[in-house]
Amino acid sequence: MRITTTVNGARREVDDVWEGESLLYVLRERMGLPGSKNACEQGECGSCTVYLDGILVCSCLVAAGQVCDRDIVTVEGLSDQQGLHPVQQAFIDCGAVQCGFCTPGLVVTAHGLLARTEHPTDPEIREALAGNLCRCTGYEKILDAVRLAADRLADTPAGSAGRLR
Amino acid sequence: MDFLQPRSWSEALEAKAAHPDAVPIAGGTDVMVELNFDHHRPAFLLDLTRIEELETWSFDNGRVRLGAGVTYSRVIDELGRLLPGLAMASRTVGSPQIRNRGTVGGNLGAASPAGDAHPALLAAEADVELASVRGTRRLPLTEFYTGVKRNALAPDELIAAILITPPSGPQQFCKIGTRNAMVISVSAFGLALHPERKAVGTGIGSAAPTPRRAYEAENFLAQALDAAGLWETRATMPPELAREFGNYVRSAASPIDDVRGTASYRSHSLAVMARRSLSWAWDDYRRAA
Ligand SMILES: Cc1cc2nc3c(=O)[nH]c(=O)nc-3n(C[C@H](O)[C@H](O)[C@H](O)COP(=O)(O)OP(=O)(O)OC[C@H]3O[C@@H](n4cnc5c(N)ncnc54)[C@H](O)[C@@H]3O)c2cc1C
Ligand code: FES
Ligand code: FES
């Protein structure tokens, strides 16, 4: 089937998609967007997290046919001409990236948290990240990165909302 | 495989009648796992995410009519006060990403004995509304579960909605698992006190072939509260009453050993959860006076 949808603000069209394949497969194998990672294909790890119509979902659990005419934002869509998004920069600055496999999913998930909550508490951060696994178990640094990103976003003139899509 | 994407409820029912073997897909959090792992290659997928009616909730003769396609996240955000037991259960489902996508209707469709919505809905004495081109029927949830991962849906039917009476008393939900997020319950328990009817509702999860109510426990507790005048006085719950309630709940289960836990642990944990959730609910009831 043909899939026409919006990804990172651009209209995308792909043909010959198998109806039962996942959005994750479509992104990685058909649209050349390998940022979203495939680690479990069963919703357990969160490394495939993307925005679907503004809501965080596991792209491995969305059927390709379900995304026609929807609005998808992947990790590739978070940075812009000026460079990395503050959430991404905070992950680097805090040493929250080891092998990096979980990072795209965590960045998108943290982005989603900070878009809703300017200064999340530690329990709120833990709860928000509960669906993202890091095999390198760098969770302490990951929590540091989210706190740092929250602080930096709050310091930008427009506040956190201004720096987030 | 064909992908059917009806835009309206009547189109969906026609599609299901024309292709009874079509597999409905809502949030996909059960269906896509099966597809990704090639456990199942259905001839048709019937996408239900374009049907607005399914994603709305409304009032129906004093009850909440919850469209089958309402997600757990929305139950938590929008219905915490009206459906407290279901909202508590929803908070324990998977992770934020799973709750953003997974639906209560999908939990019923999958009919897993471990589904977390079931104990809460059973305790609240919910009904389910099933529809086909032949018409609509409503049945008590207790009649919906027919076996392990089996339900009363006819091949041409879809789940339209769940009907739940907003509570007149406190509700609780407990679940045992190995961590706080992303766990399939080892055992689960839902409780509702219905003071206006002097009745008690229960739901047991993961400890029998289907989710089920513990009728004897309900009757025992309702009568004991009545006999002691506790519905009126709201006096302290006698600890032995809560303990005995737990024992009745335990006897209502018929658990098995599996990778997540042993039958005896399931029985034990159910008795504990029943006792504790009763004392929490009773505290709520006393505070509400
Ligand atoms: C990582 C992960 C964690 C999970 N954790 C939990 C948990 O903690 N607790 C829990 O209870 N579940 C859990 N689940 C299972 C799942 O999320 C739930 O069962 C959820 O409610 C399914 O809803 P859905 O909309 O995604 O269903 P889908 O996958 O779309 O469908 C599920 C079933 O219902 C059928 N169906 C869906 N809608 C209808 C309808 N309107 N009419 C008829 N049939 C229909 C489908 O054909 C399918 O058989 C988890 C799943 C994953 C992947
Ligand atoms: S790949 Fe989607 S959650 Fe793991
Ligand atoms: S950095 Fe390796 S999995 Fe998280």
| Same domain, yes or no: A68 and A30 | yes
Q: Using a CB–CB cutoff of 8 Å, tell me whether A29 touches chain B.
A: no
User: Chain A contact for B178, CB < 8 A?
Assistant: no
Residue B38 has pLDDT above 90, yes or no: no
Mean pLDDT on B163-192: 94
For residues A97 and A156, state if they share a domain: yes
Specify whether the CB–CB gap between A144 and A96 falls below 8 A: yes
- For B29, the closest of A61, A109, A128 (CB atoms) is A61
Q: Is residue A165 part of a domain?
A: no
Q: Check if B2-110+126-164 and B171-287 are the same fold.
A: no
Structure tokens at B234: 């709201």
* Both tokens assigned to B56: 């709305």
The residue extents of the domains of chain B are 2-110+126-164, 171-287
Question: Does A70 contact B at CB distance below 8 Å?
Answer: no
Neighbouring-strand partners of residue B47:
B25
Instruction: Count up the domains in chain A and report the number.
Output: 2
Mean pLDDT of B48-54: 97
CB contact under 8 A, A58 and B101: yes
- Reported as a single tens digit per residue, the pLDDT across B70-126 is 999 999 999 999 999 999 999 999 999 999 999 999 999 999 999 999 999 999 999
3-state SS assignment for residue B134: coil
Residue B164 has a pLDDT of 98
Q: Which residue of A has its CA nearest to B73?
A: A55
Q: At which of A44, A76, A108 does a domain end?
A: A76
Partner-chain contact A60 B101, CB within 8 Å: no
Is A81 inside a domain boundary? no
- Residue A51 is classified by DSSP as E
**CB-ligand 3 contact for A138 (6 Å cutoff):** yes
Residues of A in contact with B47 (CB under 8 A): 63, 65-66
Among candidate residues A49, A76, A103, the one where a domain is terminated? A76
Q: Which of B2, B25, B182 sits opposite A63 (nearest CB)?
A: B25
Task: Judge whether B3 is closer than 8 Å to chain A, CB to CB.
Answer: yes
For residue B111, the CA-to-ligand 1 centroid distance in Å is: 9
Residue B1 has pLDDT above 90, yes or no: no
Spatial distance between the Cα atoms of B46 and B26, rounded to a whole number of angstroms: 9
Angular region, A32: left φ>0, alpha ψ -120 to 50, beta rest: left
- Distance (angstroms) between ligand 3 centre and the Cα of A98 equals 5
In the β-sheet with A71-73, what is the strand arrangement from edge to edge? Answer: A10-14, A3-7, A71-73, A49-52, A55-58
> What does the pLDDT look like over B203-232, one tens digit per residue?
999 999 999 999 999 999 999 999 999 999
* Cβ-nearest to B95 among A18, A66, A131: A131
Q: Do residues A67 and A107 share a domain?
A: no
Partner A contacted by B96 (CB < 8 A):
yes
- Give me the CATH number covering residue A154: 1.10.150.120
Among A52, A76, A100, which residue terminates a domain? A76
Torsion region of B283: left, alpha or beta (phi above 0 gives left; psi -120 to 50 gives alpha): alpha
Q: Supply the DSSP string of B35-88, one letter for each residue.
A: HHTTS---SEEEE-TT-GGGG-EEEETTEEEEETT-BHHHHHHHHTTTSHHHHH
Burial tier of A39 (Cβ tally within 10 Å: 0-12, 13-18, 19+)? middle
Q: Which residues line ligand 2 (CB under 6 A)?
A: A 38-41, 43-48, 58, 60
Out of A41, A56, A57, closest to residue B36 by CB: A41
Mean pLDDT by groups of 10 residues along chain A of 165 residues: 97 95 97 97 98 98 97 96 94 97 98 96 97 94 98 78 49
Residues A99 and A53 in one domain: no
CATH architecture label of B171-287? 2-Layer Sandwich (3.30)
Give the ipTM of the model, two decimals please.
0.95
Same-domain check for residues A7 and A68: yes
Q: What is the reported pLDDT for A162?
A: 46
| B43: contact with A, CB 8 A cutoff | no
Q: What is the pLDDT of residues B116-175, one digit of tens each?
A: 999 999 999 999 999 999 999 999 999 999 999 999 999 999 999 999 999 999 999 999
* Cβ-defined contact of B97 to A57 (cutoff 8 Å): yes
Of A61, A65, A132, which has the smallest distance from its Cβ to B45's Cβ? Answer: A65
A130 with B2: Cβ contact below 8 A: no
Structure tokens at B5: 């994407």
Whether CATH 3.30.465.10 fits B2-110+126-164: yes
Is the distance from CB of B245 to CB of B275 less than 8 angstroms?
yes
Tens digits of residue pLDDT in A65-102: 999 999 999 999 999 888 999 999 999 999 999 999 99
Ligand 3: which residue has its CA nearest to atom 4?
A: A134
Question: Please, which residues bridge with residue B187 across strands?
Answer: B176
Domain for residue A26, yes or no?
A: yes
The verdict on A111 and A151 lying in the same domain is yes
The pairing of beta strand A55-58 with beta strand A3-7: unpaired
- HEC per residue, B152-197: CCCCCCEEEEEEECCCCCCEEEEEECCCCCCCCCCEEEEEEEECCC
Reported as a pLDDT band with limits 50, 70 and 90, residue B267 is very high
CA of B274 from ligand 1 middle (Å) equals 26
- Give residues with Cβ within 8 angstroms of A153, minimum separation 6: A86, A87, A114, A118, A159, A160, A163, A164
Please tell me the residue having the least CA distance from ligand 1 atom 5.
B94
Report chain B residues whose CB lies below 8 A from the CB of A131.
94-98, 181-182
Q: Is B34 in CB contact (< 8 Å) with chain A?
A: no
B279–A contact, CB cutoff 8 A: no
The one-character DSSP state at A45 is S
Could you tell which of A23, A48, A106, A129 is best to mutate to test the pocket of ligand 2, judged by most ligand atoms within 8 Å of the CB?
Answer: A48
Partnered with residue A57 across adjacent β-strands are A50
Query: Which of B207, B195, B283 minimizes the C-alpha distance to B252?
Result: B207
Task: State whether the Cα torsion A110-A127-B181-B111 is positive or negative.
Answer: negative
Q: Residue A11 maps to which CATH number?
A: 3.10.20.30
CA distance B47 to B37: 19
Q: Provide the residue range defining the domain that includes A47.
A: 3-76
